[in-house]
Amino acid sequence: MPPKSSLLLQRTVDHHFDHQIDNNTLFVNPTTQIPDHISHYHTHVVAEDQCCSAVVQETTASIASVWSVVRRFDNPQSYKNFIKSCTVIGTGDINIGSLREVNLISGLPAARSTERLEILDEDRHVISFSVVGGDHRLANYRSVTTLHPSAVGDGAGTVVVESYVVDVPPGNSKEDTRVFVDTIVRCNLQSLAQTAENITQQNNNNDP
């Protein structure tokens, strides 16, 4: 059966695919709706031996503060605590197609990852990367992260959505793989929120 394009929703499962399309809108919970202009970024082609999911993190930090952190393809360790170091391969310039070598902390079932920048949209606040090599079990991993204003409170905060698709490793179930990757992504986004909130607070303190 050919892969199916799947827009991530609440955990909707049929007999063949993990998620289903519904009105081209991503609803993650009753208070979080993904705007139309970025929802298509979270549409993934999912094969039978792959799984996909999305994690949402709301933060009081401004979009500018969050984007200043998450856009740094050359410095993911600023909020991804499982990363020990990162080196951009080549000249060091950051462009679509740029590669980075990521070294992971000890204790994980992985040592390093080679990753390619797929999307860096400064206007819409979208970044995407794919894993193209390394010593790990997350084959064909691709992640997309988008930012949009929070509808909660005064609207000055940010909603971060990170969706991904990845191969299910041999011997693992889709659900086991999803739980494992969701846990890592959730930890990363919680750290991102805290880092960005600290930046926002510092900027507010510096305002006259």
Assess whether pLDDT exceeds 70 at residue 4: no
pLDDT tens profile 36-71: 888 889 988 899 999 999 999 999 999 999 999 999
Residue type present at position 145: T
Q: Calculate mean pLDDT across residues 5-18.
A: 35
Q: Are 196 and 69 in contact (CB under 8 A)?
A: yes
Domains and CATH numbers, the chain: 50-205 (3.30.530.20)
* Residue 107 CA: distances (Å) to CA of 14, 74, 132, 139: 35, 23, 22, 19
pLDDT tens profile 154-183: 778 999 999 999 999 999 999 999 999 999
Percent of the chain with pLDDT over 70: 81
Span of 116-120, 147-151, 175-179 with lowest mean pLDDT: 147-151
Q: Are 132 and 141 in contact (CB under 8 A)?
A: no
Confidence category of residue 32, pLDDT binned at 50, 70, 90: low
* Residue 199 CA: distances (Å) to CA of 68, 83, 108, 121, 205: 9, 21, 29, 21, 10
Nearest-CA neighbor of 122 among 141, 96, 154, 86? 96
Assess whether pLDDT exceeds 60 at residue 18: no
DSSP symbols for 108-122: SS-SEEEEEEEEEET
Q: Are 136 and 110 in contact (CB under 8 A)?
A: yes
pLDDT tens profile 181-195: 999 999 999 999 999
Mean pLDDT score of the chain: 83
Could you give the CA distance from residue 16 to residue 3 in angstroms, rounded to a whole number?
10
Helix %, strand %, coil % of the chain (to 5): 25, 35, 40
pLDDT at 206: 75
Q: Calculate mean pLDDT across residues 85-103.
A: 92
Residue 153: count of CB within 10 angstroms of its CB: 9
Could you give the CA distance from residue 139 to residue 147 in angstroms, rounded to a whole number?
26
| Torsion over CA: 60, 64, 70, 72 (sign) | negative
* Residue 127 CA: distances (Å) to CA of 29, 84, 111, 154: 22, 21, 24, 26
